[in-house]
Structure 1
Amino acid sequence: MSPKQLRGAETVDRLLDAALRVYADAGEQGITVSSLTRTGGASPGSLYHHFGSVDGLMQALLLRWLGRLLDELTAALERSRTPRSGIRAVVETYLRFIQEHPDASRLLHSSYADRLGMAHARQLRDAQEARLSPLTEWMRQHVDSGAIAPLPTPLIEALVLGPVIGLARGWLSGAHETDLEHAARVLPERIWRSLKP
């Protein structure tokens, strides 16, 4: 990597880190060009050069953290020997992720992320295709073997991730004080029951 490319990559990282800090401190309304460039120590021109717009920066931030979450979920599934233990691994990994990265998780589970996701659903899915493929393949293999009920993939995803995402949103917003360790012990078995053939 040339020195210019290295400086560009460092600027991108600084702006992404700054965007998460600004979002954590001030919420969606705090995301402005001036707050992002001031916090990231970069010029407005750098922001526009690398991301095109504030929305482009926030979309890149969402992709960064969604990618990290998907990588952790995939690694957890790859270590699992059975579909049942895979479901447990997904639930435990997801809940651990939100505890370890609460600011990023609040962004991932925010209405802002929902709006961007709805507006750019295909683009976001295409950008994460390499990370989504192992999860989809894992489900397909277990459906084909008869270990998981023969349901459409979107329905399986909803049965597995729907309860976990709902719990995560409530915990992250402070709407309830769920004991996540207790949830990680109870929830996987309940989800597994919904998937058994």
Structure 2
Amino acid sequence: MSPKQKRGEATVEQVLDAALRIYAASGEGGLTVEAVTRTSGVSSGSVYHHFGSMHGVVLALAQRWLGQLLGELVTALTQAPGPRAAVDGIVRAYLAFVRRNPDAARLLHSATADQNVMADIESVRDSQEARLSPVAEWIDARVAAGELAALPAPLIEALILGPVVAVARRWLTLGDVDLDVATESLPERIWQSVSP
């Protein structure tokens, strides 16, 4: 990697780190080019050069943390000895990620991130394909083997992740959910919904 490429990568990291700090402190309304340049020390020209707009910054930030979350979920899935343990591992990995990274999780579960990701869903899917493919392949193989309910993969995915995402959102926004209780009780309930 050339020195110029290294500087470019360092600039991108500075901007993304600053954007998350701003989001944590000021919410979506605080995410402006001016705030990012002031917090990161990077010029507005560099922000526009690397990201195109604040939309691009938010999209890149969401993709960065989505990639990390998906990586942890895939690890939990592929290390599990069977489907029931995989469901348990996914629930535990997801909620542990949320607990460890509340600011990033809050961003990932925000309306702004949803809008930005949905606006560029093709590029997001392409950038996360290496992480998404093993999940789809695992589901398809388990359904074919009769180890999961005979449902389409998107429904299996929704049955597994839907309750976990809902709990994460409540914990992040209302704080009225105990993540320890959820971590212990959700896997069995979710398994009941996807077992054959």
Tell me which residue corresponds to 1:86.
86
- 2:107 matched to 1:110? no
Tell me which residue corresponds to 1:148.
148
Q: How many Å apart are 1:121 and its aligned residue?
A: 2.0
C-alpha distance in 2, partners of 1:181/1:125? Answer: 31
C-alpha distance in 1, partners of 2:46/2:122? Answer: 27
Tell me which residue corresponds to 1:181.
180
- After TM superposition, the structure 1 = structure 2 runs for residues 8-157 of structure 1, keeping only pairs within 5 Å, are 8-157=8-157
**How many pairs are equivalent?**
196
Which digits, 9 at most, give the CA deviation of each residue in 1:110-167, with x for residues without a partner?
0101111222222212221111011111111110110001101111111000000000
C-alpha distance in 2, partners of 1:94/1:118? Answer: 21
**TM value normalised by structure 1:** 0.97
Gaps of 5+ in 2: none
1:191 maps to a residue whose letter is I
C-alpha distance in 2, partners of 1:126/1:163? Answer: 26
- 2:175 matched to 1:190? no
**TM value normalised by structure 2:** 0.97
Secondary structure at the aligned position of 2:141 is classed as: helix
Q: How many Å apart are 1:57 and its aligned residue?
A: 1.1
Over 3 Å off, 4+ runs: none
Q: How many Å apart are 1:108 and its aligned residue?
A: 0.1
C-alpha distance in 1, partners of 2:194/2:29? Answer: 41
1:185 maps to a residue whose letter is E
Q: How many Å apart are 1:8 and its aligned residue?
A: 1.1
